[in-house]
Structure 1
Amino acid sequence: MEYLDIEHEGRTLRGVLHLPVGPAAAVPAVALCHGFGGNRAEFGYTFVRLAERLAERGVAAYRFDFAGCGDSDGDFDELTVSDQVAQVGAVLAALAAHPAVDPDRLSLMGMSLGGLTAQLAAARHPVRSLTLWAPAAAAVSMDEEAAKRRADAIAAAGYDDFGGLPVRRPFVDDAATIDAFADAAPYPGPVLLAVGTEDFVLGSELLDRYWGTYGDRLDLHVFDGVGHGFETVAARERLVELSAAFTAQHA
Structure 2
Amino acid sequence: MAIATETHHEEKPSSKGSTVEKRWTLNDFDIGKPLGRGKFGHVYLAREKRIRVYLIVEYAANGELYKELQRCKYFSESRAATYISSLARALIYLHGKHVIHRDIKPENLLIGIQGELKIADFGWSVHTFNRRRTMCGTLDYLPPEMVESIEHDANVDVWSLGVLCYEFLYGVPPFEAKEHSDTYRRIVKVDLKFPPKPVISPSAKDLISQMLVKDSSQRLPLHKLLEHPWIVQNADPSGIYRG
Q: Aligning the two structures, in what range does the TM-score lie when normalised by the shorter sequence?
A: under 0.3
Higher strand share: 1
- TM-score normalised according to structure 2 size: 0.27
- TM-score normalised according to structure 1 size: 0.27
Larger Rg: 2
